[in-house]
Amino acid sequence: MNEFTKAIGSASDDPFLSAETLEKLRSGTDMAQVAAAWLQAFAKQTSGIQQGLVVMAGTGKAKFEPVAMWPDGASPAPELMRAVDGCLKGQRMLVETGKNDNAAIAVPLLIGGQLRGVLAVLSDNSGDTDLRRVVAQLQWASGWIEAVVRRQRISGNDNLVTVIELLATSLHHTRFSEAATAVATELAGALNCELVAIGMMRGGHIRMRALSNSATFGKRATLVRLIEAAMDEAVDQQAVIAHPPLEGSPARVRRAHTALADHEGGTGLCTVPLTEQGKTIGAMLLQRKSTDGFDAGGVQLAEQAAVLIGPVLDIKRREDRWLPAKIWDSITNFFKALFGARHALLKLGVIALIAFVAFCYYATGTYRVTATTVVQGKIQRVVTAPIAGYLVQSEARAGDLVQKGAVMARLEDRDIRLERLKWLGDRTKQQQEYSQALAQRERTQARILSSQIEQSDAQISLLDQQLERMTIRAPFTGLVVSGDLSQALGAPLERGDVLFQVAPLDEYRVTLRVDERDIHDLTVGASGPLVLSALPDTPYRVAVQRITPISSPLNGANMFDVEASIEDGPIEALRPGMEGVAKIEVDERRLVEIWTRRLVLWVRMTFWSWRA
> Which of 243, 244, 241, 207 minimizes the C-alpha distance to 227?
207
Q: What is the pLDDT of residues 482-511, one digit of tens each?
A: 777 777 787 888 887 888 888 787 788 899
More confident residue, 299 or 99: 299
Q: Which residues pair with 363 in a beta bridge?
A: none
Residue 60, Ramachandran bin (φ over 0: left; ψ between -120 and 50: alpha; else beta):
left
- The CA dihedral of 523, 525, 529, 531, to the nearest 10 degrees, is 80
Q: Domain 173-320 - what CATH class?
A: alpha beta
Nearest alpha carbon to residue 547 among 506, 589, 516: 516
Strand ranges inside 233-324, DSSP E: 241-243, 268-276, 279-288
> Could you give the CA distance from residue 539 to residue 528 in angstroms, rounded to a whole number?
10
Mean pLDDT of the chain: 82
pLDDT tens-place string over residues 18-58: 445 445 444 444 677 778 888 888 888 888 888 888 888 76
- Mean pLDDT over residues 327-346, rounded? 86
Q: What is the pLDDT of residue 544?
A: 93
Share of residues in the chain with pLDDT > 90 (%):
18
Q: Which neighbouring-strand residues pair with 512?
A: 373, 562
Please state which CATH class domain 3-155 belongs to.
alpha beta
Q: Of the CATH numbers 3.40.50.150, 3.20.20.210, 2.40.50.100, 3.90.1010.10, which one belongs to the domain with range 381-501?
A: 2.40.50.100
Q: How many other CB atoms are there within 10 angstroms of residue 431's CB atom?
A: 15
Question: CA nearest 271: which of 368, 177, 206?
Answer: 206
Q: Count CA within 13 A, CB hemisphere, residue 210.
A: 27
Give Cβ neighbours of residue 122 (< 8 Å, ≥ 6 apart). Answer: 49, 50, 51, 52, 76, 77, 79, 80, 98, 102, 103, 104
Instruction: Give Cα 480 distance to the centre of its chain.
Output: 60
- Supply the CATH classification number for the domain 507-610: 2.40.30.170
Report the range out of 164-173, 203-212, 286-295 with the highest average pLDDT.
203-212
The reply to whether domains 3-155 and 381-501 share a CATH topology is no
* 356-395 pLDDT per residue, tens: 999 999 999 999 999 999 988 777 778 888 878 788 877 7
Split at pLDDT 50, 70, 90, the class of 2 is: very low
Cβ contacts of 154 within 8 Å, gap of 6 or more: none
Contact 476, 377 (CB under 8 A): no
What is the torsional sign of CA 586, 588, 594, 598?
negative
Amino acid found at 93: M
Question: Which residues does residue 590 pair with via DSSP β-bridges, in sequence order?
Answer: 364
CB atoms within 10 A of CB 313: 24
Can you give the residue ranges of every domain in the chain? 3-155, 173-320, 323-361, 381-501, 507-610
